[in-house]
Structures are given as structure tokens and as C-alpha cells.
Copies of this chain bind each other. A is one copy, B any other.
Amino acid sequence: MAPASTTRRSDCPISSALEVVGDRWTLLLIRDLIFGGARTFKDFLASREGIATNILSDRLGRLVDLGVMNSERDPADGRVIVYRLTPKGMDLVPVLMELSVWGARHENGQAPEGVLEAWQSDRDGFLRWARSRQDRT
């Protein structure tokens, strides 16, 4: 099935990207999937920013509908749904990393040691590493 599409306000690629991810919780969920090892509803709920269950439920459903994540039952426990990023979702890593560079530079955000340097010195290598992290789990 083709992913659901958003109602498009303009053809601008920035605007069309923001129709999908222009909400802070959405990008934080993607961060938790890539960098925090989050896989389940419970994992996302434990995130340090304290997302509310109704917002979490809404955003996960929306990201699956839009083809950014997929969801499947955990083979080890059929009652648990496991979320993973699709290749479309993995392509958001550069957006997250540039936000991270900016937040560290201008808003006193603290990135784990070496991460921003790794991104800035070898973007392609960093993207391969991010992809392999997800594949490993």
C-alpha cells in the first residue's frame, strides 16, 4: 500500500518535509529510534522529554501511515509492537544531525562525545554507521 499523503500547502520541498516532520515530537521519536535504541511504545514513553501517551500514540500511527516507520509484532512476544525506521525515515538522519549541530552551538545542547565531530568530518561514514545500528537490533 502506498503511504498516506499529507494535504500539501505548497510544492516547496521544505514545506512538504515539514508537513511530515514539522512537529517536535515527531523528530524526537525518530531520534529515539536511531540513537536511543527505542523499539516499543514503552521505550518511547520512557524518553527524557516526557511525551504524553495520547500524543505518542498519534505520532507513531501517523509516522507509520506516512511510510517513515513500519510496525510489526515482536516475534518473541506477539503482544508487543516493534517499530523500525524505513529507508525514508533513515534519510532524516542528516536533518537530525544538523539540528544537533545547531542546538549544541547555539542552545547549549550536549551531544554524546565525538558524535558531532564524526558527523561533520565524514557524513557518508556516519550515515552507514546509523544504518548499521538499526540493522543490528
Binding site for B on A (CB under 8 A): 5-6, 9-24, 27-28, 31, 48-50, 67, 88, 91-92, 94-111, 116
Contact = CB atoms under 8 A, between A and B. Distances in A.
A109 B13 contact: yes
A10 B99 contact: no
Nearest to A6: B107
Given A11-B109, A22-B27, A88-B106, A99 B17 contact: yes
Nearest to A48: B10
Nearest to A10: B48
Nearest to A18: B24
Chain A contact surface mostly: helix
Instruction: Report which residue of A48, A95, A97, A105 has the largest number of chain B beta carbons within 10 angstroms of its beta carbon.
Output: A95
A23 B22 contact: yes
A108 B100 CA distance: 26
Contact of A98 (B20, B22, B94): B94
Given A67-B106, A94-B102, 13 more contacts: A6-B107, A12-B48, A13-B101, A13-B102, A14-B28, A15-B24, A15-B31, A17-B100, A18-B24, A18-B103, A22-B24, A94-B101, A95-B102
Given A9-B49, A19-B24, A22-B24, A14 B99 contact: yes
